[in-house]
Structure 1
Amino acid sequence: MDPNKTKSASEGIAPMGITALNETVLSNQPESRYECPVCLNWLRDPVITTCGHKFCKSCITSWLRNSGHCPIDNINLSMKVDIFPDNYTKREIQEQRMSCPFAAKGCNVKVTPLDLDAHIAACEHNQPDTSAAQTRLPCAFHAVGCKDTFESQEDMNNHLQNDVQKHMSFLMNAYSEIKINNDISNASIDTKEQEAMNLWEAPDKEGAQASAAPLTNTSTLIRALYERVVVLEQRNREQDIVLANLTKQLSALAVAKMKQNSDMLLRYCAGNYIWRVDNFQQRLDAMLKDNYKMLYSPGFYTSPNGYRFCVRLNISPQNPLFFALHVHLMKTENDDCLEWPFNGRISFAMINQLDAERTQRDTMMSNSTLVAFRKPTAEICLRGFGYTEYALVSDVVRNGFVKNDVLVIKVNIKCV
């Protein structure tokens, strides 16, 4: 890699079909060949342009009315001579069939992707379940004090299996109320403690036997001690549950605190962001296997209430021997207060971690005529700005830019 080599920056659209490596693709999303690049939904009344791209008829009509060029490659297009119906793709989409989301409730209908929304709105199985409140089952130990109710027999069986000691305590309390004439029920100390103390006293410190309570009622003593053990075990289990819940809450608070600190660093970095791409070899292997995969950095700000950018790194679609490196504008809550298009200076530095003098540095100025610097209309602007052939993949891997499986890219964005 030649750090002094001059490269020209240009606007670049994220190649269609590219997905982030950590993105989960939902099964009901369209394949890239059936997806409109403008609305990102299934193609409706698909048309194809003379430059070979497919769009919804309404989407490309609205787009050309405002811009007059293809949103993918900026080629000038005319609705009269450059747009043609794509009946082949239309038939393919109409042959697709998707199951109703309420199949679990008994709906066996399969419709085309374009008719799915209308079917969901009219589906007879799309009704709230109102029968649950009317069929709740009381606990089998309801008569002795358990007030829990359940939606199914299976839920009640799980409750009976998990709360054995709780139900045993209810049974013993009920048995005591029926069989034992408790004369100290209004005492300030625990009833079972009082009964045990009346039946037995420990010897004093000098070894002399204390005045012995009558031991004729041995079964009553055993029953009282057993009840006390059950109560203590139940309290111990409740305390374990409380401790487990507190541990989970502390872990959640720690994670939330880390996320808050990370968000603060991104918002107050003043446009100076250092992107550490960890697990680089694994990510690189995935990109080399599928050139349509790419990496995005977290979004960072030029000021606490300023513009928000992210960095995109992927294999160049023009030359798979090179990395492409671009910045993308992202939406913020303050976009209506900012001046558009963005005007500023953008600097890249791919850090050589073994020889600082070989660090690759490049600077480029924004271009107010490009879509990439206009106010974002989506969470992340589809168009980026940067270098389609930024650095040779082999140079990055072998010449000291990757250390401990981490690639470091420094970005500096200043408003002018």
Structure 2
Amino acid sequence: MSSLKGYNTLDCQILNKDNQPLEPDYLKRYCCVYCHYILRQALQIECGDRICKGCIPLRLFNCPLCGDEIDPEKPNQFFSDRSCQKDVLGFTVLCKCQEKFKIGEWELHSEICEEIQKVTPKPAVANVLPQDVAQLENGLKQTQTELSEQKKQVNRCTKKLESLEKEVRQLRLLTDEVRRGVAAYGIAPSPGSSSRTAADGEPAVNSRVLDQIRETVTQLVSDIEQQKGTLRQLNTSVDHFTQTFPRMETVLEELNLKIEILEVKSTSGVYIWKVNDLARRAREARIGRTVSLYSPPFYTSPHGYRLCLRAYLFGDGSGKGTHISLFIVVMKSEYDDLLAWPFQHKVTLTLINQDHPLTPERSTTHRFIPNADSSSFKKPVDTFNVASGFPEFAPLSVITDQAFCHNDTLYFRIKLETPEAVTGPDELKD
């Protein structure tokens, strides 16, 4: 049984297809009776109420709404509510940061949304031990294997369905032919009569032949009913796997993101951020579905400042609709009390020309020295400080420029140079 509860949208707004907020009374019909969140993998209980698949208790329980006693171990207590699930997956979430996402995409975004982090801060990533990374990697491999097996099972079910449907059609045609033959001979003779002659001169028909034909028809009808039952079972199996795919793929994305964050690839003050699947991400930015992207966090030194990059692939502020916007974000870390504030490292941001990656002048580069009076570079109080950088970092044309975009991928590079006056725990000498 899945352990996932409903979609916890906090106090974000749920929008309908016309981007209008759903009324609370209307939204209640899409809430789980157990966890009270938006239904995930909605099931209808025998009593008529709805529950998340992952919320079903293991033992006898009473429906929280109507009080009916439900035994999960008995058959036909829960039924897949595909109509409800389809409605839920069509919901749009207006996040606290005012960006819009489909409900499955919002769940991933919520992990890094600075506005949500203010309400429900996450534990510091750097506290995670290497064995946690290994555990996530094993989980990712297991999920990938399960997803692959499920896809194979769907293919097998689909082929079996096609074969059975063809067989049923053939059986029906044969049954019709036999029935027409029986109708042509008329009713069988009474017991003790060995044959009959049709009034219109048709040849005599042995009653034994008629009995065999009737038995064949009965058997064929029985076979068809059995095939229908098998078809229903396979359809149920295919429906189950089809509903499971989106969530499995979302779990894969979540695990990939967590592993990438936990590994913290750079503690040297130089970090390269690979942005792949660029065409899809740019399209989603253009239509307002996923306006910005965050890089995994990185450090200036093993115990230094923690930062990340934030990119708007359809621009932000003065660059909206014309440029890619690129910013740095100072993040809260467990070493902040040991560091000098405000943050004063010189920042160099580069979009790498992949045709000439070792020729800096061919790339797009911008530099700045942090403003000591800006709140963006003060000691963080929340998970993220306000982003700071370049609204007009690079023209949108670079997305289709083959010099910068290879294999649907861009590479951003950040270099942080430590001022001589700044020291931290990694620079202190005994």
* TM bracket, shorter-chain basis: 0.3 to 0.5
Tell which has more relative contact order, 1 or 2 (C-alpha 8 A, sep 6+): 1
Q: Which one has a bigger Cα radius of gyration?
A: 1
**TM-score normalised per structure 2:** 0.40
The two structures have a TM-score, normalised by structure 1, of 0.42
